[in-house]
Chains A and B, each alone.
Chain A
Amino acid sequence: EIVLTQSPGTLSLSPGDRATLSCRASQSVSSSYLAWYQQKAGQAPRLLIFGASNRATGIPDRFSGSGSGTGFTLTISRLEPEDFAVYYCQQYGYSPYTFGQGTKLEIK
């Protein structure tokens, strides 16, 4: 099983700040199968990034993804109030399809 480890567990920032979220895989994952999701309380996860670096439909360009192999990054260039949520990376390359444990982005 591929373990995805996200860091930090909690990130405390202010609106307007830049956020950098990390996702490390226990073995190499094809970029084609690495996605990022945002989840707000009481809601289903929402797709942000697919294929490691492609924004999903309707996702603002302040969200960007990068990385390959075992290291991936989600960057939010300038935080808006609505961006404070939990973020998960996920791989669909090898079964079982796993998620990271999540990074909680909270208002400082």
Chain B
Amino acid sequence: QVQLQESGPGLVKPSQTLSLTCTVSGGSMNSGSYYWSWIRQPAGKGLEWVGRINSSGSTSYNPSLKSRVTISVDTPKNRFSLRLSSVTAADTAVYYCARVDTAMVYWYFDLWGRGTLVTVSS
């Protein structure tokens, strides 16, 4: 059973870079046709898609964050990562990693991590 697990610092200082990793267990990132995404949710607010990557390293980012976001993949280690630079308090949120299976007729986030809270504060 494939599972996703986010990890990384829970506290980041303003103007610094937020770095998170999502580890895929129970299956290989290379098996199948998947997009691996980061999604975030500020406390008490809705969900915002941050960006995605596939196992080949092809990326797509939300234009609202594009200048600050980098998503990378490490298929041998079965994980992908998020870097968000120049963070402010507005970047404080629970960050989720999630998967879309593009081999299906329908596309949707079928698998989610449990989420990790990142707080931006000095």
* Minimum Cβ distance to chain B for residue A7 (Å): 14
Chain A, interface residues (CB within 8 Å), range: 20 to 34
Given contacts A45-B112, A96-B62, A96-B63, contact A33 B49 (CB under 8 A): no
Q: How many residues of B contact A (CB 8 A)?
A: 22
Contact pick for A99, options B49, B112, B113, CB 8 Å: B49
* Minimum Cβ distance to chain A for residue B47 (Å): 4
B46: A residues at CB distance < 8 A = 88, 99-102
CA–CA, A100 and B46, complex, Å: 8
A46: B residues at CB distance < 8 A = 112
B113: A residues at CB distance < 8 A = 44
Do B63 and A51 touch (CB < 8 A)? no
A37: B residues at CB distance < 8 A = 109
**Taking the complex as formed, is A105 at the interface, i.e. its CB lies under 8 A from any CB of chain B?**
no
B109: A residues at CB distance < 8 A = 35, 37, 45, 47, 90, 92
* Minimum Cβ distance to chain A for residue B109 (Å): 7
Q: Which of A27-44 contact B (CB under 8 A)?
A: 32-33, 35, 37, 43-44
Q: Which A residues are closer than 8 A to B by beta carbons? A: 1, 32-33, 35, 37, 43-47, 50-51, 54, 56, 88, 90, 92, 95-102
- Some 19 contacts from A to B, beta carbons below 8 A apart, are A32-B106, A33-B107, A33-B108, A35-B108, A37-B109, A43-B114, A45-B109, A50-B106, A54-B106, A88-B46, A90-B108, A90-B109, A96-B64, A97-B49, A98-B49, A99-B46, A101-B46, A102-B46, A102-B47
